[in-house]
C-alpha cells in the first residue's frame, strides 16, 4: 500500500483514507469535506489507489466519431451555445442519407463508434430520429451506435406519445446499442430551474437510464460542473448516480464535464481551474465506488491536464472524436479531436498502458 505524502494530515482526512482503504463507502459529508480540502495531492493519491485496484495501469480509449444530426432545439438552456431556432442562420437538420454522405467523406478505417447527440428538434417527428439511426446502421453495420441523451429520449416520449421503454425499443430495432451520458447537467431541480434546463428533470433523467438498464442496455452518465451549483450539489449528483448504479449496475463510466464559457475569448476567471478539474475527477473516483471507470474528457480540460488526471483517478481518455461541436460552439480552446497515435502518446506519456477498447470496454488492443 502506498504512503500518502501529506506530513500534517487532519483527523477527518485520515478517517476518509481509512474508510476508502477498508472498502467503506463515503457519504455526503465526506464528499463535501474532500471538495473543501486544499490537500489536492492526498485526494489525488487516494483516488489513484482506488483506480489502480480497479484498472491497474491500463487507460482506455476508442476510435470514435461525433455526429450531430441537428442543432435545432426547443430548449434554451443557459449554458448552451450550440442550439439554434428553426430558420435561424446556421440552423441545420440533416437527413439520414445526408449524414451517411458526411460520414463517408470523413470516416477512416478503425472507427468503432458513432457518438450521436443533437438538439431537441420538434419540427420533425420521432420517426426522423429512428430513421437517422437506421440509415447509419444500414451503411455502417460494424460501427456501434451510441446515440441520444436521456433528455433526448424523454423528449422523444413527448413528441411520440410513446413510453420510455417503447421509444428505446424502437431505437434499438433501428440499431441503437447504448445511450450517451449527456443531459444530466447537475441533478438538482433547483439548479435546473435557475439554469433554464428546459428538458428532462432529475427523476426523468434517472428513469430513462433505469429503463435502458432494465432492457439490457449499458449506458454512460455525466455531470456538468462549474456554474452556479454548490459543491454539495455535485456530491448529491454523484450519490444519486451511485444509488441507481447500486440498483441496476448498468453504467459503464462517469464523465465529469468541465463547464465551458460561451466565448472563446473569455478570460481564465470565467473558466474552471485545473485545480478544480483535477479535484472533481479525484472526488468522483472516491465517491463512485461502484463505477469501473472515470473519464478525463480532453475536449473540456485539454490534453496535458488529461495526462495529469490519469494520476488522479481517471482510467479513460474518451476517443478520437474527429470533430467535436458542442463544447467548441462555446468557449472550448482544446483540440476538436485526436488521432489514435496522439491518444497512445498521451497515455504513454503519463506512464500508463494505452488500451484500445470498444464501446463496452472490451479490449481490442493493448499497446505495451
Q: Which residues are annotated as a binding site for [4Fe-4S] cluster?
A: 73, 77, 80
305: Cβ–Cβ under 8 A, 6 or more apart, which residues? 274, 277, 278, 296, 298
Are the CB atoms for 156 and 120 separated by under 8 Å? no
Q: Which residues pair with 224 in a beta bridge?
A: 257
119 burial (CB, 10 Å; 0-12 / 13-18 / 19+) is: buried
- In which element (H, E) is residue 17 found? helix 11-21
Contacts of 146 (CB under 8 A, 6+ apart): 64, 113, 114, 115, 116, 177, 178, 179, 180, 220, 359
Element spanning 247, H or E: helix 231-248
Would you state the cell numbers that stand for residue 251, as one nine-digit string?
Answer: 453504467
Cell of 181: 451520458
Are the beta carbons of 338 and 345 closer than 8 angstroms? no
- Where is the binding site, in residues? 73, 77, 80
H/E element holding 318? strand 316-319
Among 288, 185, 187, residue whose Cα is nearest residue 237: 187
Amino acid at each position: 500500500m502506498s504512503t500518502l505524502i501529506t506530513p500534517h494530515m487532519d483527523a477527518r482526512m485520515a478517517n476518509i483514507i481509512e474508510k476508502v482503504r477498508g472498502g467503506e463507502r463515503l457519504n455526503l459529508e465526506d464528499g463535501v469535506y474532500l471538495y473543501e480540502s486544499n490537500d489536492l495531492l492526498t485526494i489525488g493519491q487516494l483516488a489513484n489507489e482506488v483506480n489502480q485496484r480497479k484498472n491497474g495501469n491500463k487507460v482506455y480509449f476508442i476510435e470514435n466519431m461525433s455526429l450531430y444530426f441537428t442543432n435545432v432545439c426547443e430548449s434554451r438552456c443557459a449554458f448552451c451555445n450550440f442550439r439554434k431556432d428553426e430558420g435561424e442562420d446556421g440552423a441545420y437538420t440533416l437527413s439520414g442519407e445526408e449524414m451517411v454522405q458526411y460520414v463517408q467523406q470523413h470516416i477512416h478505417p478503425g472507427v468503432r463508434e458513432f457518438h450521436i447527440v443533437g438538439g431537441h428538434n420538434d419540427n420533425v417527428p420521432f420517426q426522423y430520429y429512428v430513421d437517422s439511426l437506421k440509415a447509419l446502421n444500414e451503411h455502417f453495420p460494424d460501427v456501434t451506435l451510441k446515440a441520444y441523451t436521456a433528455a433526448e429520449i424523454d423528449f422523444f416520449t413527448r413528441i411520440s406519445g410513446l413510453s420510455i421503454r417503447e421509444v428505446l425499443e424502437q431505437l434499438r430495432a433501428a440499431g441503437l446499442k447504448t445511450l450517451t451520458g449527456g443531459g444530466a447537467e447537475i441533478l438538482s431541480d433547483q439548479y435546473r430551474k435557475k439554469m433554464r434546463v428546459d428538458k428532462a428533470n432529475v427523476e426523468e433523467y434517472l428513469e430513462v437510464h433505469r429503463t435502458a438498464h432494465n432492457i439490457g442496455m449499458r449506458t454512460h452518465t455525466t455531470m456538468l460542473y462549474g456554474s452556479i451549483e454548490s459543491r454539495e450539489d455535485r456530491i448529491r449528483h454523484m450519490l444519486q448516480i451511485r444509488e441507481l448504479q447500486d440498483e441496476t449496475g448498468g453504467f459503464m463510466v462517469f464523465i465529469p464535464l468541465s463547464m465551458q464559457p460561451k466565448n472563446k475569448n473569455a478570460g481564465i476567471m470565467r473558466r474552471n481551474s485545473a485545480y478544480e478539474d483535477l479535484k472533481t475527477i479525484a472526488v468522483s473516483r472516491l465517491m463512485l465506488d461502484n463505477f469501473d471507470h472515470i473519464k478525463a474528457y480532453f475536449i473540456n480540460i485539454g490534453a496535458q491536464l488529461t495526462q495529469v488526471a490519469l494520476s488522479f483517478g481517471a482510467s479513460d481518455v474518451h476517443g478520437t472524436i474527429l470533430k467535436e461541436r458542442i463544447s467548441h460552439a462555446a468557449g472550448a480552446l482544446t483540440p476538436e479531436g485526436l488521432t489514435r497515435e496522439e491518444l497512445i502518446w498521451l497515455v504513454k506519456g503519463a506512464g500508463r498502458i494505452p488500451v484500445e477498447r470498444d464501446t463496452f470496454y472490451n479490449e481490442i488492443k493493448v499497446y505495451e
